[in-house]
Amino acid sequence: MKENIPNIYSFKVKKITGEDQPLSAYRNKVVLIVNTASECGFTPQLTELQQLKDEINNPDFEILGFPTNDFGKQEPLNGNEIASFCEINHGVKFPVFDKIMVRGAHAHPLYQFLSDKKLNTKLSSSPRWNFHKYLINRKGELEDYFYPFTKPLSSKVKKKIQRLLDNNNK
């Protein structure tokens, strides 16, 4: 078994309040990473993402939201405005981080990793719009991705998450 497979645990992200959050805090969890925006046609997926989190109801599953203004300037909010919007309008309780860039030369290093097979050794899939979803296994490795039009509550998404949760190779 390869032990040097790249994973998300070496990355740090900024909480909405500005503090660093190492992604190693999510070690041994199945994680769904989603780039979000408050003024997008897909924004109702924030509610569906929280419903997915509630429905799966497993402490080993986490959703991480990363607001971005990269697509159609659909995230005009900043900091606590984003957190308030997500909580008040969509009941979001999962972590939503500080606004980042998710594509291009200035993309956050996490998104450079997720998007490029040369870095993650598994898949190449850059977000083409808001609500692109990356599925991470318990080892912190990229497992799969879902395009924005794939709804969080779809059986495809739920089955893949459940399969990873059932695989207890920590």
CATH code for the structural domain at 11-164: 3.40.30.10
Q: Give, to the nearest 10 degrees, the angle between helix 155-166 and helix 45-56.
A: 40
Residue length of the chain? 170
pLDDT in tens, the chain (170 residues): 345 679 999 999 999 989 999 999 999 999 999 999 999 999 999 999 999 999 999 999 999 999 999 999 999 999 999 999 999 999 999 999 999 999 999 999 999 999 999 999 999 999 999 999 999 999 999 999 999 999 999 999 999 999 999 986 55
**Phi/psi of residue 103, each to 5°?**
-145, 160
pTM of the model: 0.95
Catalytic residue among 40, 52, 96, 107: 40
**Residue 93: what pLDDT?**
97
Q: Is 40 a catalytic residue?
A: yes
What are the domain boundaries of the chain?
A: 11-164
**Residue 167: what pLDDT?**
84
